[in-house]
Structure 1
Amino acid sequence: MANPVVVGVDGSTSSLDAVEIAAHEAGLRGVGLRLVHAFGWPSMHLPPGGYPLWNPAVAGVRELVDDALTKAEQRARKAVPDVEITREVTVGEPLMVLEIESRTASLIVVGSRGLGAFGGMLLGSTAVHLTAHGRCPVLVVRGRPNPSGPVLLAVDGSPAGEQAVEFAFAEASLRGVDLVALHVWNTWSEPVHRGPVNALDVIVDVEQLREEEQRLLDETLRPWRERHPRITVERRLVLSRVRPALIEASRDAQLVVAGARGRGGFTGLLLGSVSQALLHHAHCPVAVIRGTQRP
């Protein structure tokens, strides 16, 4: 069977919203939905040399867990009645549990904030950690998506961003909506060309730079437009600051797709500033896609 969509469940409102989105994603892909609840080990209770003999039933919280998972399953079935659902209750650190789940998932979905095991999900730890370290695309549910809006793709032209482009086209195709490919540039952007830097180049030819950025946008999209000829693609080239422009554009979108890291920045970082800004401030759900190359 194809890899499932996995969603973290903790009983919070944000978690249930994530379950609904995850059910739709599973339905679109024709795969199963896996509901995962994790219990973190309380470090103060760890005995020397081993793990405590603890499980949800002994701790008296099995009923609470079952109730949270039952409500999550009901929410999923209301959204997509025929989705195949499995449950998993795991004892372990939630971050590690979901990272392990990402190895066999087609998509991980998490809420923007949570309670209990997945408490403080955004942006204390879980969402940022998963988008930086997960082995599959991560969709963070936040904001109020426009159900009739397009998929918004943040285009930066980097080799690592190619998988984000592929994911965005696939999402637009599955959802049957348009794709808006937004490339934001400015006169202090990292140049597209490579080579020795001449001090005289500090004087920027804005029109030439605009043409180069337009070429980058067109070349990035060309192979994917040929593979998906039925998708209507709107190419937007915007002279602005990157993060505010993307956040503003997300108001009209049903999903934003971005690579984990793009051009520029610090090579040692696993998650770029643009991705983090979207996770904190976008007006709709955000999917962050990591490239195959790892630092």
Structure 2
Amino acid sequence: MYQKVLLPTDGSPCSEQALREGLELVRACNAQATVLYVVENPLLTLPMLPEGIPYEAELYEDLKKAAAEVLERSRAIAAELGVEVSTAMEEGQPVPAIVSFARDFDLIIMGTHGRGGLEKLIMGSVTEGVLHRTDKAVLVIHCRRSG
């Protein structure tokens, strides 16, 4: 069935739920799993800050550190579930980075945000973007709302 599964994450509760459920499927299929975190470079996405404010570069380093922490938590969750995973960190815009990275995978498993009101019917923009731009199978995990 599925041999190589990609699990993109952003560290959110919804993403963690999709990771947990995805890892259960990975275990059942005896597949290989890779958890991917895409770091957006604020130097490319934020409006220019006034000269002399060095925080843009610091922010980027903080984002990479946070990504490493999310990937470490993902490895811990996988170990808790008895699943071996590899992890990867890519830099760029999430949708094209995920689609490009997924070229060697059979399945992408992603979560969508469970929001209130009418928004709960709409998938997250990254998940939707990946769905529309990849030829890979995508399993979307509907996130349960807490509370």
Q: Aligning the two structures, in what range does the TM-score lie when normalised by the shorter sequence?
A: 0.7 to 0.9
Q: Write out per-residue CA displacement over residues 230-251 of structure 1, whole angstroms, 9 at most, x where no aligned residue.
A: x331100111110001111222
- Aligned twin of 1:214: 68
CA distance in 2, matches of 1:268, 1:151: 28
Runs of 4+ off more than 4 Å: none
**1:278 and 2:124 equivalent?**
no
Structure 1 residue 257, shift from structure 2 partner: 0.3
Contact kept, 8 Å, 2:38 with 2:90, in 1: the verdict is yes
Contact kept, 8 Å, 1:261 with 1:275, in 2: the verdict is no
CA distance in 2, matches of 1:250, 1:203: 29
Count of aligned residue pairs for this structure pair: 132
- Aligned twin of 1:174: 28
- Give the letter aligned to residue 27 of structure 2: S
CA distance in 2, matches of 1:172, 1:219: 17
- Aligned twin of 1:261: 113
Structure 1 residue 201, shift from structure 2 partner: 7.3
Contact kept, 8 Å, 2:35 with 2:74, in 1: the verdict is no
Structure 1 residue 208, shift from structure 2 partner: 3.6
Structure 1 residue 183, shift from structure 2 partner: 0.4
Contact kept, 8 Å, 2:6 with 2:109, in 1: the verdict is yes
Structure with max Cα Rg? 1
CA distance in 2, matches of 1:243, 1:284: 13
Structure with more of its chain in strand, by fraction: 2
Contact kept, 8 Å, 2:20 with 2:77, in 1: the verdict is no
- Give the letter aligned to residue 161 of structure 1: S
The secondary structure found in structure 2 opposite 1:204 is: helix
Instruction: Tell me the TM-score normalised to structure 1 length.
Output: 0.41
The secondary structure found in structure 2 opposite 1:292 is: coil
- Give the letter aligned to residue 215 of structure 1: E
- Give the letter aligned to residue 99 of structure 2: I
Cα gap change, 1:216/1:201 in structure 2, threshold over 3 Å: closer, same or farther?
A: farther
CA distance in 1, matches of 2:13, 2:107: 22
Equivalent residue runs for 1:106-145 within 5 Å: none
The secondary structure found in structure 2 opposite 1:274 is: helix
- Aligned twin of 2:87: 235
Q: Percent identity?
A: 24
- Aligned twin of 2:39: 185
Contact kept, 8 Å, 2:38 with 2:97, in 1: the verdict is yes
Unaligned runs of 5+ in 2: 44-52
Structure 1 residue 202, shift from structure 2 partner: 4.4
CA distance in 2, matches of 1:201, 1:291: 37
Q: Write out per-residue CA displacement over residues 60-103 of structure 1, whole angstroms, 9 at most, x where no aligned residue.
A: xxxxxxxxxxxxxxxxxxxxxxxxxxxxxxxxxxxxxxxxxxxx
- Give the letter aligned to residue 96 of structure 2: P
The secondary structure found in structure 1 opposite 2:119 is: coil
CA distance in 2, matches of 1:221, 1:252: 21
Q: Write out per-residue CA displacement over residues 103-133 of structure 1, whole angstroms, 9 at most, x where no aligned residue.
A: xxxxxxxxxxxxxxxxxxxxxxxxxxxxxxx
CA distance in 2, matches of 1:272, 1:208: 24
- Aligned twin of 1:108: none
- Give the letter aligned to residue 178 of structure 1: Q
Contact kept, 8 Å, 1:279 with 1:286, in 2: the verdict is yes
Instruction: Tell me the TM-score normalised to structure 2 length.
Output: 0.77
How big is the alpha-carbon RMSD for the aligned residues of Structure 1 and Structure 2? 2.6
- Aligned twin of 2:104: 252
